[in-house]
Structure 1
Amino acid sequence: MYELIKSCDDDHQWHEKKDIESALQISRSSLPPDKERLVSLDVFRGLTVALMILVDDVGGILPSINHSPWDGVTLADFVMPFFLFIVGVSLAFAYKNLSCRFAATRKALIRSLKLLLLGLFLQGGFIHGLNNLTYGIDVEKIRFMGILQRIAIAYLVVALCEIWLKGNLNVSSELSMIKKYRFHWVVAFVITTIYLSLLYGLYVPDWEYQISTEDQGSTLTTFLNLKVKCGVRGHTGPGCNAVGMLDRMFLGIQHLYRKPVYARTKQCSINSPNSGPLPPDAPSWCQAPFDPEGLLSSLMAIVTCLVGLHYGHIIIHFKDHKKRLNQWILRSFCLLMLGLALNLFGMHLNKPLYTLSYMCVTSGASGFLLSAIYLMVDVYGYKRASLVLEWMGIHALPIYVLIACNLVFLIIHGFYWKKPINNLLHLIGIGK
């Protein structure tokens, strides 16, 4: 078996950039040559990075673009689905021609693992924030999930689908394309069914958690036990949903995100939708950890990536601009209408839970955005106007790591005059 894999690897010519960068940017080197390459894919990716920076830096000032405290969507809630969608689109190119499935599988595993480890380093708690020059993490409290970890999981699952589950049919029509990739849709249906069954079928019992409190006039830290009363099934509120229960069960509550968005709900903040002190009658779950990139919710993130993969297949098999746009727009409209209908009938748009309605609406919006960028950049040729976004898309991962994760600011913060407060960032008003 080893000799088979090795010989396949020797025959398989992958011209790729750094493995980690290819996981987020999905191997631009595996895309068509520059004369054929679709600039719109880089522009889409660059716009997504720009939106992420915008909502991270301005969201605290403008609640209308900050993440929704729970139900509903804002501009910030489209960023993660946009990333997952464009990952799927680009995967169609990355694994378009396979000389050896074993070698391709190994490549996908390595890329996903590197992206996962990078996510643990950046979002696991090792870095202590913009105003703290210390680093390190108690492994008992490390955060396992995060943005890059979710992308890594979706990338791996969808890459394996593309490597092992596509048929050998020649695509000459929309129907033949559906037949060629029918097992992809089976995977999407199975994942969605599992997600809905667990979200609405699991019984959520009462549960407890601890918060630390410091006594005034004392250096001692005490712990307060809080009990959340649930005893429900199919609940989609912040305190008693199956998404949080499964994360507490399998990841451990000490490994979850400690600043959940629901802390800005009216029940938990007197300044809602901004952060603020707890109201006098705040529910007991207001201070509980909750991971917005949890295990169960990541199932629907995989489906978003699969939807993007299908849009990439349309690029590969249909060369006519009008044909591509018609298929994209039709599918985007259907997804958007389905998501809005589900929301109307009670399945609310919800990013922390990554509900089916949320997946449909954000995937439809992704498709419309891709269509608009494709029409402007690749059809009408307005490429000079999008040069900055194209550059950001080409260097998406370094920009995310250095700016969105504040790494460049932390490095600058580390150089100061006599006292840590005397640094360039403080001089220009960044940080404390």
Structure 2
Amino acid sequence: MKDRILSVDIFRGATILLMVLVNTPGTWSNVYAPFLHADWHGYTPTDLVFPFFLFIVGTSIAFSYKNRTVDAKAYKKIAIRALKLIALGLFLGAFIIHFPFFKNFNEIRFPGVLQRIGVVFFFAALLFINLDWKKLIWATAILLIGYWLLMTFIPVEGVASTLERAPNNLANWVDVKVFGSHNYKADYDPEGLLSTIPSIASSLLGVFTGLILTSKQEKKTKILIGLGGSLLIIGHIWDIIFPINKALWTSSFVLVTAGWANLILALIYYLTDVKKIEFGSIFRYAGANAIVIYFLSSFISKVMGQIQIGDTSLHGWLFHRIYVHDFMALETSSLLYGLSVVLFYSLVGYFLYKKKIFIKV
């Protein structure tokens, strides 16, 4: 397409390949700190990756639905796409490689990355096609402020709420009560139910960026930089009373991650769409089939982790046979394994793109 904004495609592809990198180290026992999530409060570069993807989902919503007719057909398409994403996520959580090919019901994790993408896409798209930009600002503010009030002022079974990892943390308590044994951890889920509320705001902030990019505004780069810087400042100020936390997806976390997303996207936009400098094609190829690449990487990684070779898995066997050497730190070996996986899926993205195969979920 002539009017396609290359920077968005590059940003999307880079984000999905980063998701693959941080999800597939050689060994979780030896990973460089920037490629790990923060223990609880605070954030690392890795904590930016998933919110970046939800942000770009919102940007894509602004592109795809800006001029579409709001009718039953539009609602049906939105609902079907959301259900497909949720179904793929549940499949990943339940699949095992041996008969009967699915875990016992009590062992299946209900929340997950694809499930959250599906839910967030559904609500962000519905809000976008029904509200103008001013009402969307109010909706975003209500989601963020409302979540802050819920998390800090609602007691849990008569005990004052906390933002620490504890039974009287409202988000954790809701996850345990609703999902029981179906959480990622026994006491909480990083893609839990209550924390999905502010994650919708992550996507809505991406919607605003999409509206800026498709508008007739001049100096879009400066607008994105100003927006990104403002969100960063407000988010870090809010961090004082509502700590930045990915596991809880706090409102300050939403603002800070959207701030970084705008700043990075502004740089890519300036280089590719303004200055017409050609770079990042490999990311663009991956971005064209982002969900497919994420699903394949997760599925194949899961299969490799379950195939046994001696006393280890196929994943472990390949890692130790090819990447582990006496002259190299295990963290470096682990990173090289992850980069090899990224290279493989970059080639998959390239192949699909060149063959004009675009699988829309």
Question: In which range does the TM-score fall when normalised by the shorter chain?
Answer: 0.7 to 0.9
**Cα gap change, 1:339/1:430 in structure 2, threshold over 3 Å: closer, same or farther?**
farther
In the alignment, structure 1 segments of 5+ residues that lack a partner are 1-33, 167-180, 206-230, 259-287
Quote the offset at 1:53 in angstroms. Answer: 2.1
The equivalent of 1:410 in structure 2 is 303
**Cα gap change, 1:291/1:37 in structure 2, threshold over 3 Å: closer, same or farther?**
same
Residue 378 of structure 1: which of 273, 283, 296 is its match? 273
Hey, what's the Cα distance between the residues in 2 that align with 1:137 and 1:407?
A: 17
Query: Which has the higher relative contact order, 1 or 2, with Cα contacts under 8 A spaced 6 or more apart?
Result: 2
Aligned length: 319
2:54 aligned with 1:160? no
**Cα gap change, 1:241/1:99 in structure 2, threshold over 3 Å: closer, same or farther?**
same
Hey, what's the Cα distance between the residues in 1 that align with 2:24 and 2:212?
A: 36
Quote the offset at 1:303 in angstroms. Answer: 0.3
**Cα gap change, 1:408/1:138 in structure 2, threshold over 3 Å: closer, same or farther?**
closer
2:7 aligned with 1:79? no
The equivalent of 2:320 in structure 1 is 429
Quote the offset at 1:362 in angstroms. Answer: 0.5
**Cα gap change, 1:45/1:422 in structure 2, threshold over 3 Å: closer, same or farther?**
closer
- Say if 2:94 and 2:102, in contact at 8 Å, map to a contact too: yes
- Say if 1:141 and 1:255, in contact at 8 Å, map to a contact too: yes
SS at match of 2:194: helix
Residue 204 of structure 1: which of 156, 165, 172 is its match? 156
Quote the offset at 1:427 in angstroms. Answer: 4.7
Residue 248 of structure 1: which of 176, 181, 194 is its match? 176
Please identify which structure carries the higher helix content: 2
2:8 aligned with 1:56? no
What is the TM-score of this pair, normalised by structure 2? Answer: 0.81
Q: Percent identity?
A: 33
In the alignment, structure 2 segments of 5+ residues that lack a partner are 323-361
The equivalent of 2:146 in structure 1 is 194
- Say if 1:243 and 1:296, in contact at 8 Å, map to a contact too: yes
Quote the offset at 1:382 in angstroms. Answer: 2.3
- Say if 1:133 and 1:414, in contact at 8 Å, map to a contact too: no
Residue 68 of structure 2: which of 98, 113, 117 is its match? 98
The equivalent of 2:352 in structure 1 is none
Hey, what's the Cα distance between the residues in 1 that align with 2:147 and 2:66?
A: 29
Matches within 5 A, 1:248-397: 248-251=176-179, 253-258=180-185, 288-318=186-216, 320=218, 322=219, 324-343=220-239, 345-383=240-278, 385-397=279-291
Deviations 1:379-425 (A, max 9, x none): 12222x3111111111211211122x142672797698xx7979697
What is the TM-score of this pair, normalised by structure 1? Answer: 0.68
- Say if 1:92 and 1:313, in contact at 8 Å, map to a contact too: yes
RMSD between superposed Cα atoms in Å: 2.7
**Cα gap change, 1:334/1:354 in structure 2, threshold over 3 Å: closer, same or farther?**
same
Quote the offset at 1:125 in angstroms. Answer: 3.4
SS at match of 2:214: helix
SS at match of 1:71: coil
Hey, what's the Cα distance between the residues in 2 that align with 1:87 and 1:148?
A: 12
**Cα gap change, 1:421/1:302 in structure 2, threshold over 3 Å: closer, same or farther?**
closer
Quote the offset at 1:334 in angstroms. Answer: 0.9
Q: Determine which structure has more spread, i.e. the larger CA radius of gyration.
A: 1
2:94 aligned with 1:125? yes
Hey, what's the Cα distance between the residues in 2 that align with 1:380 and 1:392?
A: 23
Hey, what's the Cα distance between the residues in 1 that align with 2:285 and 2:125?
A: 25
